[in-house]
Amino acid sequence: MEPTTNTDTTVEIVDGVQYNKGLTNDHFITSKEKRVSELDNPWVLIIESPVNTIRQIQSILEFVIKNNKPLLIIGDLEPQVANALAMNKVKGNIKINVINAPTYGINKKDMLSDLSVLTGATVINEELGDDLNIIQQEHLGQCIKSTTNDNETIIQVDTSNSEIKLLVEEVKKQLQETNSPGEIIQLEKRLARLAAKVAVVKVGASSEVELKEKTDRIEDAICATKAAIKEGIVPGGGVALYDAALFIKPKTEGHAALIQALKYPFKTILENAGLVDYNLPSGKGSGINVITGDEVDMIKEGIIDPLLVTKSALKNAASVASTILSTDCVINNLRVGHESSR
């Protein structure tokens, strides 16, 4: 997601890969407001071996500083090395970002190999005879842009590389030959990664206030979509919890209280929409469309919630309720009028 000078908000599909490693040091952040590190047209250095001293990559650092180009390092750096790079970035000596390498055996090698093909960088591995001390410019790759937040990095690349197409065909062949469910999942993930497509939402607005409001809403929508991809969806508008309440038989007073609480999100949403006179849903998954006032199948109508969000809301509410029940005194900040205070 990024702001644009236009007033319209658009979605653009760009060539790029999502890499599930985020910021390693807050000092690499280039935009404090968005809390991201953004590098335009950076050189890319991929290192599979651990970097123990800054001298091991000194020649590359001198090269990028001399050419005033940003550098994206993908690898495992010792804390003192990462801290030294962060300090130089803060001082303005170098434009740089460091993200960790993948952590697991064969998947690590596949991921680094794919990033190598996508960016044109050589994977430096001392176990294979490479020497970190003599890394040269030809070992570096390039990308169009890298954007790193707390959780992930989006690397925009040029997918016209013929090597990428050959590797895609090789992975497809491996998919046809394997019967292992675990291997099939990994190969499908790898194929998706090599497809190198990322959606970028360009947020437009006519004022800074509107831009911030739109950005917050779109960010919430993106997070909700990711949550839905992770664990699936349920009928929205409080219907999922309402349906659950109808199917649970209370065994204790606590159960009965919880069942009543599960019905309230559905009722509260309708009250907030000004709907007072309505019929209760007649079937599982059915609810009220607050715009039209009609009873609809919520999922077919596109009124949905991520399962993860619904679960988290219920767990958090139960946690707060449990805390209040076990507390002798609760202080609130409600203002009381003079008459009622008597």
Q: Per residue in 124-153, pLDDT tens?
A: 988 878 887 788 889 999 999 999 999 889
* Domain range for 101: 2-159+196-205
Based on the domain organization, do 137 and 35 belong to the same domain? yes
Any idea what the Cα angle at residue 340 is, between residues 334 and 342, rounded to 5°?
A: 115
Based on the domain organization, do 149 and 22 belong to the same domain? yes
Residue 101 has pLDDT above 50, yes or no: yes
Based on the domain organization, do 54 and 146 belong to the same domain? yes
| The pairing of beta strand 10-19 with beta strand 37-40 | unpaired
Residue 33 has pLDDT above 60, yes or no: yes
Residue 231 has pLDDT above 80, yes or no: yes
More confident residue, 97 or 190: 97
Domains: count for the chain: 2
The pLDDT-based confidence of 342 (bands split at 50, 70, 90) is very low
120 φ/ψ angles, rounded to the nearest 5 degrees: 85, 10
Based on the domain organization, do 20 and 72 belong to the same domain? yes
Based on the domain organization, do 252 and 310 belong to the same domain? yes
The pLDDT-based confidence of 41 (bands split at 50, 70, 90) is very high
- Say what the pTM is: 0.61
The pLDDT-based confidence of 107 (bands split at 50, 70, 90) is confident
**What average pLDDT does the chain have?**
87
For residue 260, the domain's CATH number is 1.10.560.10
Task: Give the pLDDT score at 197.
Answer: 72
Determine the Cα–Cα distance for residues 53 and 188; give it in Å rounded to an integer.
Answer: 37
Based on the domain organization, do 121 and 49 belong to the same domain? yes
Based on the domain organization, do 153 and 255 belong to the same domain? no
Based on the domain organization, do 201 and 258 belong to the same domain? no
For residue 66, the domain's CATH number is 3.50.7.10
Question: Does any domain span residue 268?
Answer: yes
Q: What is the largest CA-CA distance in the chain?
A: 84
Question: Does any domain span residue 177?
Answer: no
Question: Does any domain span residue 201?
Answer: yes
Question: Does any domain span residue 90?
Answer: yes
Based on the domain organization, do 276 and 200 belong to the same domain? no
What single letter denotes the amino acid at residue 341? S
Task: Give the pLDDT score at 245.
Answer: 92
Residue 341 has pLDDT above 60, yes or no: no
Count, in order, helices (H) and strands (E) of the chain: 10, 15
Question: Does any domain span residue 219?
Answer: no
Based on the domain organization, do 147 and 249 belong to the same domain? no
Determine the Cα–Cα distance for residues 43 and 27; give it in Å rounded to an integer.
Answer: 19
From 158-162, 180-184, 337-341, the region with the lowest mean pLDDT: 337-341
The pLDDT-based confidence of 46 (bands split at 50, 70, 90) is very high
Question: Does any domain span residue 342?
Answer: no
Average pLDDT over residues 173-178: 87
From 57-61, 171-175, 328-332, the region with the lowest mean pLDDT: 328-332
More confident residue, 186 or 215: 215
Task: Give the pLDDT score at 160.
Answer: 65
Q: What percent of the chain has pLDDT over 90?
A: 47
Residues 75 and 112 sit within 8 Å (Cβ to Cβ)? no
Based on the domain organization, do 40 and 145 belong to the same domain? yes
| The pairing of beta strand 233-235 with beta strand 286-288 | unpaired
Instruction: Transcribe 164-230 into DSSP letters.
Output: HHHHHHHHHHHHHH---HHHHHHHHHHHHHHH-EEEEEEE--SSHHHHHHHHHHHHHHHHHHHHHHH
Based on the domain organization, do 105 and 65 belong to the same domain? yes
Question: Does any domain span residue 110?
Answer: yes
Q: Per residue in 68-89, pLDDT tens?
A: 999 999 999 999 999 999 999 9
Question: Does any domain span residue 10?
Answer: yes
